């Protein structure tokens, strides 16, 4: 397989997704989970723009990527708000510890 621009970008997208998946598996802190989701969405935004570019419809790729960026930002805001409220209520940000709490 020749290392063309397309192949390099595809390898970059898949690698970034892989690192994001790994982070999602090993992360326990709620704020860090939000950050890992950001990493995953950045790879997806790149994939949307790239697919729009290679299919000859960059405008459509950009449009969907813009929507994804907005949705991702809202997810980050709401997730951080939830994390802060969980920290105030339970005194911890550790996800397994929160799931075992009662009362």
19-58 residues in contact with other proteins (CB under 8 A) are: 19-23, 25-29, 31-32, 34-36, 38-39, 42, 45-46, 49-58
Is the distance from CB of 41 to CB of 47 less than 8 angstroms? Answer: no
- The answer to whether residue 100 forms part of the interface with other proteins (CB under 8 A) is no
Distance from C-alpha of 42 to C-alpha of 62, rounded to nearest angstrom: 13
Q: How far is the CB of 100 from other proteins (least distance, A)?
A: 12
| From 3, 100, 102, 103, residue interacting with other proteins (rule: CB under 8 A) | 3
Helix (H, G, I), strand (E, B) or coil at 2: coil
Q: Per DSSP, what are the bridge partners of residue 29?
A: 94
- The answer to whether residue 88 forms part of the interface with other proteins (CB under 8 A) is yes
């Amino acid at each position: 397989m020749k290392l063309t621009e397309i192949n390099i970008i595809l390898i970059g997208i898949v690698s970034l997704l892989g690192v994001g998946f790994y982070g999602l598996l090993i992360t326990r802190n709620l704020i860090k989970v939000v950050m890992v989701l950001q990493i995953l969405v950045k790879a997806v935004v790149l994939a949307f723009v790239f697919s729009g570019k290679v299919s000859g419809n960059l405008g459509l790729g950009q449009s969907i990527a813009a929507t994804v960026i907005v949705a991702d930002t809202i997810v980050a805001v709401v997730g951080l708000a939830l994390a802060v409220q969980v920290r105030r209520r339970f005194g911890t940000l550790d996800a397994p510890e929160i799931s075992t709490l009662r009362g």
